[in-house]
């Protein structure tokens, strides 16, 4: 990787690289597996070794982690390789054990961030620690829950905080295991500009082939690091087998990723950028005007629907519009996913506005 950018405070204080690369298996399975992977990651860009020892599994009866015995294995990782260690904590007992056993980084998983009770319990147990604590986004795309989790930790006087974006679950099947919804991560970054934001492409993609592109997208958005699940025998991993990469593949990914500079003072770049930004501002204005016009027309339709006592939702017409827009979108290099999102939102707003008219 090249073009290292300015580091965040704890990255600097802890002597960590930027972008921070966290590698290691989804789960610690055996002492031998943990140490083997760690030794293969030792002389790479990875500075933090992850391994889940308490695993939150969606369905019972699956491998739920080796538990506290894994803490000793992580200690050995640190002694033998010098890598910092990281594991997930999901209640006060986990926190106590992880702190007593000198785990360097504790992360809070997506299934914990969703629960204010659990977040509060973890925050109370961590009170005043100078360990690094990383908060994954909640499973569902709820910005306030993520912010709330961070606020509880702030209030508990935890200074070395960071965020992990691991995508959000959806009922609809998509190509992602958890859709990225980058704008939510960007909003959280804007709200807490001093907290490093790390991307977890493994849980976003769910498939190892998707890790490179998701990682590059994150770096293009100035994320501060990556957490990538790494296993010497990914296909036989005891959890998340499809999304883990070998240490060799991790090194390739790191070499191929481009780290962008946050900004540069170069005059030509600045001029070109402000020119293009000015164009974008004009285009955005036009978009808004057009949306305003569309809604005005929808309201007029609402008025005639009301006068004729016709239902607001006309499914056939709506499906025709969508089909046409998807085709026309393709000609303009706009993905089907994008067209669907935009037009569903536009359609919903039209329905809301028409409903107001009909019920007035």
Sign of the C-alpha dihedral computed for residues 168, 174, 177 and 180 taken in this order: negative
The answer to whether residue 165 forms part of the interface with ligand PEP (CB under 6 A) is: no
Q: Indicate whether 26 belongs to the interface with ligand PEP (CB under 6 A).
A: yes
136 contact, one of ligand PEP, Mn ion, none, CB 5-8 Å limit per kind: ligand PEP
Q: Is 317 exposed, middle or buried (0-12, 13-18, 19+ CB in 10 A)?
A: exposed
Q: Looking at 109, 206, 225, 302, which residue binds ligand PEP (CB under 6 A)?
A: 109
Which residue among 8, 152, 166, 208 contacts ligand PEP (CB under 6 A)? Answer: 166
Nearer to ligand PEP, 83 or 312 (CB): 83
Minimum distance from residue 119 beta carbon to ligand PEP (Å):
13
Q: Give the number of other CB atoms < 10 A from CB of residue 148.
A: 15
Which of the residues 49 through 88 are near ligand PEP (CB under 6 A)?
52, 56
**Residues that contact ligand PEP, how many (by CB under 6 A):** 9
Task: Give me the DSSP letters along 292-329.
Answer: HHHHHHHHHHHHHHHHHT--S--HHHHHHHHHHHHHHH
Which residue lies nearer to ligand PEP by CB, 19 or 65? 65
Q: Which of 22, 26, 156, 188 is the binder for Mn ion (CB under 5 A)?
A: 26
Query: Are 260 and 220 a contacting pair, CB within 8 Å?
Result: yes
Regarding 110 and contact with ligand PEP (CB under 6 A), the answer is yes
User: Is residue 18 a contact point for ligand PEP (CB under 6 A)?
Assistant: no
Q: Where are the alpha helices (DSSP H) in the chain?
A: 9-13, 31-41, 69-81, 92-100, 110-113, 116-126, 143-155, 182-191, 201-205, 211-220, 247-256, 267-308, 315-331, 336-358
CB of 5 to Mn ion, least distance (A): 28
Rounded distance, CA 251 to CA 270, Å?
34
39 binds, among ligand PEP, Mn ion, none (CB under 5 to 8 A by kind): none
Q: Minimum Å distance from CB 178 to ligand PEP?
A: 8
Binds ligand PEP by CB under 6 A, chosen from 18, 94, 136, 177? 136
| Segment 290-299 long-range contacts (CB within 8 Å, at least 24 positions apart) | 291/346, 294/346, 294/350, 295/349, 295/350, 295/353, 298/349, 298/350, 298/353, 298/354, 299/353, 299/354, 299/357
Q: By CB under 5 A, which span of 65-73, 89-97, 145-153, 234-242 interacts with Mn ion?
A: 234-242
Tokens representing residue 15 in the block? 């002597």
In angstroms, rounded to a whole number, what is the distance separating the alpha carbons of residues 146 and 144?
5
240 binds Mn ion (CB under 5 A): yes
Q: Taking CB within 5 to 8 Å according to partner kind, which of ligand PEP, Mn ion, none is near residue 110?
A: ligand PEP
Residue 177 binds ligand PEP, judged by CB under 6 A: no
Interacting residues with ligand PEP (CB under 6 A): 26, 52, 56, 109-111, 136, 166, 203
Interacting residues with Mn ion (CB under 5 A): 26, 240
């Amino acid at each position: 990787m090249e073009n290292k950018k300015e580091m965040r405070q704890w990255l600097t204080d802890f002597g960590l690289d930027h972008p921070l690369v966290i590698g290691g298996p989804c789960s610690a399975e055996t002492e031998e597996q943990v140490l083997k992977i760690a030794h293969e990651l030792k002389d790479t860009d990875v500075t933090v070794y992850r391994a889940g020892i308490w695993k939150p599994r969606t369905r019972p009866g699956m491998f739920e982690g080796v538990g506290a015995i894994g803490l000793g294995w992580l200690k050995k990782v640190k002694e033998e390789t010098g890598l910092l260690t990281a594991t997930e904590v999901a209640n006060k007992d986990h926190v106590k054990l992880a702190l007593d056993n000198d785990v360097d980084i504790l992360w809070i998983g997506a299934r914990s961030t969703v629960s204010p009770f659990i977040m509060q319990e973890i925050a109370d147990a961590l009170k005043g620690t100078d360990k690094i604590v990383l908060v994954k986004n909640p499973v569902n795309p709820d910005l306030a829950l993520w912010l709330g989790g961070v606020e509880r930790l702030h209030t508990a006087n935890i200074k070395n905080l960071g965020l992990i974006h691991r995508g959000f679950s959806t009922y609809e099947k998509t190509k992602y295991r958890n859709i990225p919804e980058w704008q939510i991560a960007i909003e959280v970054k804007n709200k807490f500009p001093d907290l490093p934001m790390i991307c977890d492409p493994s849980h976003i993609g769910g498939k190892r082939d998707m890790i490179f592109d998701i990682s590059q997208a994150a770096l293009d958005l100035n994320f501060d690091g990556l957490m990538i699940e790494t296993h010497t025998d990914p296909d036989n991993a005891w959890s998340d087998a499809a999304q883990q990469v070998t240490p060799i593949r991790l090194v390739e990914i790191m070499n191929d990723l481009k780290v962008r500079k946050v900004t540069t003072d170069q005059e030509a770049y600045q001029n070109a950028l402000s020119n293009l930004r000015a164009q974008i501002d004009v285009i955005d204005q036009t978009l808004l005007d057009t949306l305003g016009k569309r809604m005005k027309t929808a309201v007029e339709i609402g008025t005639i629907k009301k006068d004729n006592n016709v239902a607001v939702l006309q499914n056939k017409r709506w499906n025709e519009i969508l089909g046409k827009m998807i085709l026309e979108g393709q000609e303009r290099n706009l993905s089907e996913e994008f067209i669907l999102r935009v037009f569903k939102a536009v359609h919903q707003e039209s329905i809301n506005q028409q409903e107001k008219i009909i019920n007035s």
